[in-house]
Structure formats: structure tokens, C-alpha cells
């Protein structure tokens, strides 16, 4: 394959499309490709603030004594959440199905509740980190009377409809609900590298804004309790797409005189980082519903992808990860959209709705 930015012209439409893509990335890429690594110990990172719109990006310890926090679930993320609040000075109570888990939190001052109901009544802000939102609902339904006067912040992965149903259930029992997501790792918690979208009760969001911002760069999305989960799932869908491309790329190199690491470190990562800078521009096209072929057309991208699929088969690698995108681009051409910018393919997806 022709190296982006090289002297060769490539062959046919695929070659021209690759040139157009490389040229567009060079024009639009304005951010540095090198990203600095996050510090390993989050407690040593100085808090910073950058406020933009509804995004609160300062991890602050203002009024910590006024907010009692309870954390339910002490897995890796739940333990990291608890440690963050304890180090910030919040009175923090913990509860876990298995007593005694994460013993190091005791040395930091965590209080251990003997019962689930006791843990909930000990806190003003109840933070839950479990496998999924459905599991959170099942847990809280065992102590319905404990919801009165409490704010529940769920940061478990889940479906938007499950979050909405849980919000309704808690409100009916005199509590308030916020659903959130943690787009980050335990090591990045409490830094701007951890993104925290959340939604639900506007009153609860206003009251506990500072406490939620302790977890990372927190953004309140609105009163719909399902919005945070929808954003979480959409971001993770993009992540899975990236991993699918990574798996296909490394499989294609199998048996060749190179390594997956070299391909990834020297070629794939720099190329993808350049493309990341283009995504906000492409997203703006979607919002404006304008699809002039400034990047590459649907037809051109389809031709490139067909070549990639052919090479994959020549390497003995199946194209299952690529076939859905090929079908999507082909559908765009069939609908007369082949000359439009390839982002128009999103409209093709939206026009073919499926039942829930």
C-alpha cells in the first residue's frame, strides 16, 4: 500500500482516495500528535479548572464537610472512587456484598456500614459502581424505604431505558437520581483524562456538582436520566469500531516479516491520531446536514475498502469485520449518494431503523 504523503500516485480510484485523505488530514490536523502520559498517582496531580458550557472540569474539595458520600460496590472502580473522595476530605461510608473488601480504604478513614440500608442512610450522595444498571435497580429494590431524601449517582454501565426506569422508581420513593458514566480507568480517576457525563435531576446536579467533579471532567447533559447512558454507549461503540479495525489490521500482517507492535507503533497509531483531529469537523458536517466531498466521497471510500477486503482475503484473513461497512457504503451509492462526503453514510444508517 502506498504510504500516505509519499511520492507515488497509487492506482485508480483507491489511490486517488488515499491521496485525498492524506492531504485532508494534513490540512486539518492542528493538534500535536504526541500525547503526554497521565501521571500514575492521581492524588499527586494538582487540580485544575476549565469550564466550558455545562462542563465542570475542576476536581474541587469545596464544601466537602457538607456532603456525606456513600459508595456501594468496592470493585476496582468503586475502590478508586472511594479513595478519591477520602483523599479529597469527604466523609465516606462504604458497603460491599463481601465484607472487608478493599481493606486499604479503612486506613484512609472509610466507614464500613454493616447493612445496605445503613450505608444508604449514612450518605447524602450514594454512588453505585456495579456491573450494570439493572443490577443496581435490583439491589436498591431490596431497601426501598432508604431512598427518601437521598441522591443516587449510578456510574454503572447500562441501557438508557434502565436508567429512566430507575429514576422514576427512586423519585416515587422520595429520592433523586443521576445516571453517569466514567470514561476512564481507575488510574485516571480524578484527573481531566477521566470524562464523566451525567444526567437526571437538575436539583441534584446543582447540589452535588462539586462532588461529582471530584471524579474527573464532569459534564451535566440534562434532565433526561437516559442521556448519560446513551452517550456512554455511543462512545463505546466508537471504541469497539476502533478495536475491530485494529484486529483486522494486525491479522492481515500475520506471517509477514514484521510484528504487530511495529505496525501499530510506527504506522497505525500516528495515522489514527491524525484522523482523530478530523472527527470534530466531520461531526459538524453531520450537525449541519452538509456533505460536500471535502474529505472523500462515499464511492471513493467504498473503492478503498473493497481493495482492503481483497488484500485481506489474499492474506487468508476473513473480512467479517469490514463487510458491514462495505455494505453501508454500497447502500449509499445505490441511493445516489456516491458523490457526497462519506459522512453521509451516517444518514443511511439512520434511515434504516430497527425495532428495539
The model's pLDDT over 162-175, given as tens digits with 9 standing for 90+, comes to 999 999 999 999 99
Residue 191 makes CB contacts below 8 A (sequence gap 6+) with 38, 39, 42, 45, 59, 184, 216
Is residue 63 very low, low, confident or very high in pLDDT (cuts 50, 70, 90)?
Answer: low
The distance from CA 96 to its chain's CA centroid, rounded to whole angstroms, is: 26
Is residue 10 very low, low, confident or very high in pLDDT (cuts 50, 70, 90)?
Answer: very low
pLDDT of residue 112: 96
Residues 276, 277, 280, 284, CA torsion sign: negative
**pLDDT of 41 higher than 60:** no
CA distance 194 to 59: 11
pLDDT of residue 352: 75
pLDDT of residue 76: 95
Out of 46-50, 179-183, 227-231, pick the least confident.
46-50
Query: What proportion of the chain, given as a percentage, has pLDDT over 70?
Result: 81
pLDDT of residue 254: 81
Q: Grid cell 507515488 — which residue? A: 8
Out of 5-9, 188-192, 209-213, 222-226, pick the least confident.
5-9
Q: Which of 64-78, 137-151, 257-271 has the highest mean pLDDT?
A: 137-151
**Can you give the length of the chain in residues?**
356
CA atoms within 13 A on the CB side of 287: 6
pLDDT of residue 84: 97
pLDDT of residue 18: 40
**pLDDT of 17 higher than 70:** no
pLDDT of residue 65: 61
Note the pTM of the prediction, 2 decimals.
Answer: 0.79
Average pLDDT of the segment spanning 80-99: 96
The answer to whether 68 and 91 are in contact (CB under 8 A) is: yes
Q: What average pLDDT is seen over the chain?
A: 84
Amino acid at each position: 500500500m502506498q504510504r500516505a504523503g509519499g511520492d507515488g500516485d497509487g492506482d485508480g480510484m483507491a489511490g486517488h482516495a488515499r491521496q485525498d485523505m492524506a492531504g485532508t488530514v494534513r490540512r486539518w490536523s492542528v493538534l500535536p500528535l504526541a500525547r503526554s502520559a497521565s501521571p500514575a498517582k492521581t492524588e499527586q496531580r494538582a487540580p485544575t479548572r476549565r469550564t466550558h458550557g455545562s462542563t465542570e472540569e475542576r476536581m474541587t474539595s469545596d464544601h466537602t464537610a457538607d456532603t456525606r458520600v456513600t459508595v456501594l460496590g468496592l470493585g476496582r472502580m468503586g475502590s478508586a472512587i472511594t479513595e478519591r473522595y477520602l483523599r479529597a476530605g469527604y466523609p465516606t461510608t462504604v458497603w460491599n456484598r463481601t465484607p472487608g473488601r478493599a481493606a486499604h480504604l479503612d486506613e484512609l478513614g472509610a466507614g464500613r456500614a454493616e447493612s445496605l440500608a445503613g450505608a444508604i442512610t449514612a450518605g447524602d450522595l450514594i454512588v453505585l459502581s456495579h456491573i450494570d444498571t439493572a443490577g443496581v435497580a435490583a439491589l436498591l429494590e431490596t431497601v426501598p424505604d432508604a431512598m427518601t431524601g437521598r441522591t443516587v449517582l449510578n456510574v454503572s454501565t447500562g441501557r438508557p431505558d434502565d436508567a429512566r426506569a430507575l429514576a422514576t422508581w427512586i423519585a416515587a420513593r422520595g429520592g433523586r437520581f443521576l445516571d453517569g458514566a466514567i470514561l476512564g480507568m481507575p488510574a485516571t480517576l480524578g484527573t481531566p483524562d477521566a470524562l464523566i457525563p451525567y444526567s437526571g435531576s437538575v436539583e441534584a446536579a446543582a447540589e452535588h456538582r462539586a462532588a461529582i467533579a471530584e471524579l474527573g471532567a464532569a459534564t451535566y447533559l440534562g434532565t433526561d436520566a437516559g442521556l448519560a447512558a446513551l452517550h456512554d454507549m455511543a462512545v463505546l461503540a466508537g471504541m469497539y469500531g476502533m478495536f475491530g479495525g485494529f484486529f483486522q489490521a494486525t491479522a492481515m500482517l500475520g506471517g509477514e516479516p514484521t510484528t504487530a507492535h511495529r505496525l501499530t507503533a510506527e504506522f497505525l497509531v500516528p495515522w489514527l491520531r491524525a484522523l482523530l483531529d478530523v472527527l470534530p469537523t466531520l461531526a459538524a458536517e453531520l450537525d449541519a446536514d452538509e456533505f460536500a466531498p471535502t474529505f472523500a466521497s462515499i464511492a471513493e471510500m467504498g473503492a478503498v475498502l473493497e481493495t482492503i477486503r481483497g488484500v485481506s482475503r489474499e492474506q487468508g484473513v476473513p473480512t467479517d469485520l469490514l463487510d458491514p461497512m462495505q455494505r453501508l457504503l454500497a447502500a449509499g451509492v445505490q441511493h445516489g449518494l456516491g458523490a457526497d462526503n462519506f459522512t453521509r453514510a451516517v444518514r443511511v444508517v439512520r434511515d434504516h431503523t430497527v425495532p428495539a
